[in-house]
Copies of this chain bind each other. A is one copy, B any other.
C-alpha cells in the first residue's frame, strides 16, 4: 500500500453513511455471489453482513443488493446497477482524494523525522 494513505467516510446525510466497510462488502457480494460467501471472505459474521446490506438498501429508492431465496447451497445475492454506481462513485472519490492528498501532503512528508 502506498503512502500517504487516506481513509474516507462520507455522510451523504446525517443518517446515510458510506465508508470502506460497506463498499468492500458490496464488492465482495459482486465477486462472491452471496451474502454469506462475501461475509466469509471479509471475516465478517453473516448477521453483520446482512445488517449492513439491509441498512444500505434502506438508504436508496432502489436496492443496492438483491437476494434470491436459495435451494441447496443457500441464497444468492447480486449487486444491482445502482449498487455498482455507488461502488464506482465511492472508489472514484477515493482515487481523486488520494491524488490531491499526495500532492498537498508532500511538504509535510518532507518534514517528518527520519524513520517516521
Contact = CB atoms under 8 A, between A and B. Distances in A.
Contact of A93 (B3, B82, B105): B105
B6 A6 contact: no
A7 B6 CA distance: 10
Number of copies: 2
A43 interface: no
Contact of A11 (B7, B11, B82, B113): B7
Interface residues of A, number: 38
A97 to B, nearest CB: 5
Contact of A10 (B4, B10, B61, B62): B4
A100 B100 CA distance: 10
A8 B93 CA distance: 12
A13 interface: yes
